Amino acid sequence: MTNRKMFFTMLWGAVFRRRSRAMMAVIASLVGAATLFCLASVCVAVPQQMNEEMRAYGANLIVTPASATGKSQGIDTATVRNATALIGAGHSVKSAAYRYESVRINSAPYTIAGVDVKAVRALNRHWNVTGDWPGSGNVMVGRDVADALGVKVGSRVTIGYRAADASASASSSASAKSDSDESTETAESSAQGTQSTQTTQGEQTTQATENGRVSSDIMDNNGTEFRIAGIVDTGGNEDSIIYATTADVSKLAGHERGADVVEYSVNAMGDELNAIVNRINKNTNTAVKAQTVTKITSSDTRIIAMLQTLFWIVSLVVLVLTLVGVGTTISSIVSQRRNEIGLRKALGADSRAIGVEFYVESGIYGLIGGLLGTAIGYVLARVLCATVFGRAIGFDWLLGAGSLLLSVAIAVIASIPPVRRATRIDPAIVLREE
């Protein structure tokens, strides 16, 4: 019998003659592999899943005009299309454009936003809307506006557009918008800042013209009648804005122009999202500037960082427990085979050959445990993602291969101390049973 054949014969006997001890080693590796693969799969899948879930809570990037001329004329359709192409390169993206105008209802100043209803609705799925979204001749008002006016769904309001308000605030609304974006992180809050500026300066204007006539009566309640189709309640700045279709706002203002703000929900986060912003801002041909919505992006980053930290802590604990479990099992096996080791050394077997046999035996336990543990870990990860996110995850073959290699490596590393003790056994002492 050749040495190689003898080696595999002894290895086969060592593994299958002591099934209970082998089973303990396999179970220790199985538990470790299952836990680590499950955690790793969830840790890989969760950022993507969470990013998609967070996109339901609004934009994480906004675009505004870069120049003073652009701020007065808005962002035209071609510019929006170019910016969307840059932002959406390699990413899924949703967008919605907002045109803000200062209007009056019962002589009180308010901000109206002209929107593409379908786009805004898809972007802001978290909005709590009572009634319907805006349509032709119908508006949707924020909860604060509804409370201030004392209106409900089905009520009618007369909305007046005053050229004086628009002209008085033209020079300052852009700066107000920019400052507000940086401090409150949403496009709607920028409109709120614009509204306050428009209110102050609009009331100070006493000789503005409208349709060629001088109008200094701030109590003028003339305007266009709209039906209130719905009331939106988000708990944010949206509650103080009136929403109408872009066509209705253009008709009310008497002219068309581009959007003041374009909101984007991009399937990116962290450094990847910042890279998109930098790419937009460095491209002078876009005629727009971009910035992240800090409130959303910081929440994404913070939650994912917490999950990853938890993953590493639990993984470290599992690794230590697996090492202890496999090491204890191998120590028990070595103790049981003490007489056998002494006899083999007395017959001429060297310490290296004995050590290799134990390392290979430990590796087999790790391989079997890793295979079973990876399969179980995948099932657990799939159930967990389906339960929490309502979505299934695919099997990551690279992660699976890593799980197997790690299981084998842990089993071999855990066996080093007991194997070293085994190779130092004095055959004379063992044979005398001392």
Is 269:301 a contact under the CB 8 Å cutoff? yes
Q: Which residue has the higher pLDDT, 329 or 123?
A: 123
| pLDDT reported for residue 392 | 77
Closest CA to 295 of 197, 188, 195, 173: 188
| pLDDT reported for residue 18 | 65
| pLDDT reported for residue 219 | 56
Question: What residue type is 311 in one-letter code?
Answer: F
List, as one string, the DSSP characters of 114-176.
Answer: EE-HHHHHHH-TT-EEEE---BTTEEEEEHHHHHHHT--TT-EEEEEE-HHHHHHHHHHHHHH
Helices (H), 185-293: 187-204, 246-253, 270-282
- pLDDT band with cut points at 50, 70 and 90 for residue 212: very low
Is 153:228 a contact under the CB 8 Å cutoff? yes
DSSP 396: -
| pLDDT reported for residue 357 | 79
Q: What is the mean pLDDT of residues 95-112?
A: 92
Give the integer Cα–Cα distance in Å for 227 and 158. Answer: 9
Q: Does 194 have pLDDT greater than 60?
A: no
Closest CA to 164 of 119, 203, 120: 203
Relative to beta strand 241-245, strand 108-115 is parallel
Q: Does 254 have pLDDT greater than 50?
A: yes
Q: What is the mean pLDDT of residues 244-268?
A: 90
Closest CA to 262 of 63, 10, 424: 63
How do residues 396-407 score in pLDDT, each as one tens digit?
A: 899 899 989 988
Q: Does 268 have pLDDT greater than 70?
A: yes
Give the integer Cα–Cα distance in Å for 220 and 208. Answer: 13
**Long-range contacts of residues 216-219, Cβ cutoff 8 Å, at least 24 apart:** 218/107, 219/107
How do residues 104-119 score in pLDDT, each as one tens digit?
A: 998 889 999 999 999 9
| pLDDT reported for residue 405 | 92
Instruction: Map tokens 């581009």 to a residue.
Output: 258
Residue 269 tokens read as 């986060």
SS3 content of the chain, % helix, strand, coil (to 5): 65, 20, 20
How do residues 339-354 score in pLDDT, each as one tens digit?
A: 777 777 777 777 787 7
- pLDDT band with cut points at 50, 70 and 90 for residue 52: low
Q: Which residue has the higher pLDDT, 397 or 209?
A: 397
Residue 162 tokens read as 């005053």
- pLDDT band with cut points at 50, 70 and 90 for residue 417: confident
Torsion-angle region of 388 (φ positive above 0: left; ψ -120 to 50: alpha; else: beta)? alpha
Is 71:329 a contact under the CB 8 Å cutoff? no
Give the integer Cα–Cα distance in Å for 195 and 191. Answer: 6
Residue 118 tokens read as 């379908």
| pLDDT reported for residue 22 | 76
Instruction: Map tokens 């969307």 to a residue.
Output: 84
- The chain-wide mean pLDDT, for the chain, equals 78
Residue 135 tokens read as 């349509």
Q: Does 211 have pLDDT greater than 60?
A: no
∠ CA 308-311-316, rounded to 5°: 130
Share of the chain above pLDDT 90, in %: 23
How many alpha carbons lie under 13 Å from residue 231 in its C-beta half-sphere? 17
With the C-alpha atoms ordered 225, 228, 233, 234, is the resulting torsion angle positive or negative? negative
